[in-house]
Amino acid sequence: MINDTTLMDAVTRLRQGDRATLAQAMTLIESSHPRHQELSARLLDAIMPFTGNALRLGITGTPGAGKSTFLEAFGMLLIHQNLRVAVIAVDPSSPVSGGSILGDKTRMTALSRSDAAFIRPVPSGGHLGGACLRARELILLCEAAGYDIVIVETVGVGQSETEVANMVDCFIALQIAAAVTICRGLKKASWRWRNLIVINKDDGDNRGNVAIARHMYESALHILRRKYAEWQPQVLTCSALQNRGIDLVWQTLCDFRSTLAASGRLEAGAPSAGASLVAATNERTDVAYAGLPAPILRAISSTRYKP
């Protein structure tokens, strides 16, 4: 367990990619205990120089879109290219225990068995939109541990899209070829956050419907406001079940990163992401420490994460 005595040793082990230490650090970050909150702030401060090198991806999707199947196929593709992958799967919280109830890790069996992958189900904690307030800090831990790709999988859609879009480099919407889903999706203002749309289940008798859906999305994206002037959001199709089209998704993500890096967008976005992390961290600690004596609050304030 990480404590005052073992904190810097934990930072060293974390930088060496020790999975057990990463899990312990995440448990510490997720704790609402005031003492753990103080240690978390010190841990974040110690690892900050070793963060920022991973490609951060956000993924959302309608129910039944096959996110877990897609993530497993996509994650294994990355591992076969000698990349290390971390998945932060934000689950709905149990009203009884407060823990995750979907257990995405159990649905990604091959990926979870790989030494090059780390999957962490995270309870949303009832936070608005399901985007875990602590996910930003968990991303930093994964980066410090040397993971090349960090994926944040969100619960459903809505407010969580905006939150996750501010955490990641590229935001992916996983869709299915359902008329109701398309009609609802095209009228959502939050589509401006989506840098890549992937229509899954392009197999069997569904292939004709997928082709129609792709045309509808492409037509709509040309008239909707985009997040980056340099990047026209792409619409791709795949069959995660048949492991087809996944390589094109990865190639498109590489093109996206190269395009934005060339324009300086990725570097320019880093300060706002850091400021957003500070605001989220401060909001969490303000709530956790409400009602504590003034001397304790001053001591904690001196060690809180600041830009």
User: Would you kindly state where each structural domain of the chain is located, as residue ranges?
Assistant: 1-50, 53-270
- 0.75 cut: is pTM over it? yes
- The pLDDT of residue 121 is 87
Q: Once rounded to an integer, what is the mean pLDDT over residues 191-214?
A: 88
The whole-angstrom separation of Cα 159 and Cα 109 is: 29
R_g of the chain, CA atoms, integer Å? 20
Q: Is the pLDDT of residue 185 over 80?
A: no
Tens-digit pLDDT profile for residues 9-59:
999 999 999 999 999 999 999 888 999 989 999 999 999 999 989 999 999
Q: Is 270 exposed, middle or buried (0-12, 13-18, 19+ CB in 10 A)?
A: exposed
Lowest mean pLDDT across 72-76, 85-89, 92-96, 231-235: 92-96
> Between 80 and 32, whose confidence is greater?
80
Cα 101 to Cα 116: distance, rounded to the nearest angstrom: 25
Count of CB atoms situated within 10 Å of the CB of 97 = 9
- Alpha-carbon gap, residue 142 to 26, rounded angstroms: 9
Can you identify the CATH homologous superfamily of domain 53-270? Answer: P-loop containing nucleotide triphosphate hydrolases (3.40.50.300)
Identify each DSSP E strand in the chain by its residue range. Answer: 55-61, 85-91, 117-123, 149-153, 170-175, 196-199, 234-237
Count of C-beta atoms within a 10 Å radius of residue 255? 12
Residue 187's pLDDT band, with cuts at 50, 70 and 90, is low
pLDDT at 120 over 70: yes
Regarding predicted confidence, which is higher, 192 or 115?
A: 115
- Architecture per CATH, domain 1-50, reads as Up-down Bundle (1.20)
Q: How many CB atoms lie within 10 A of CB 74?
A: 27
Q: Which two tokens stand for residue 134?
A: 């602590």
Say what the pLDDT of residue 221 is: 81
As a whole number of angstroms, the distance between CA 301 and CA 41 comes to 10
- The whole-number average pLDDT for the span 104-117 is 83
Greatest mean pLDDT among 30-39, 97-106, 249-258 lies in 249-258
- Across the beta sheet with 234-237, the strand order is 117-123, 85-91, 149-153, 55-61, 170-175, 196-199, 234-237
- 27 with 121: CB under 8 angstroms? no
Quick check: 147 pLDDT over 80? yes
Taking each helix axis from N to C terminus, what angle separates 7-15 and 34-47, rounded to the nearest 10 degrees? 50
- Percent of the chain whose pLDDT exceeds 90: 44
Over residues 211-239, mean pLDDT: 86
Position 217 scores a pLDDT of 86
pLDDT score for 181: 57
**Given the DSSP bridges, would you call strands 55-61 and 85-91 parallel, antiparallel or unpaired?**
unpaired
What pLDDT score does 191 carry?
63
Higher pLDDT, 166 or 22: 22
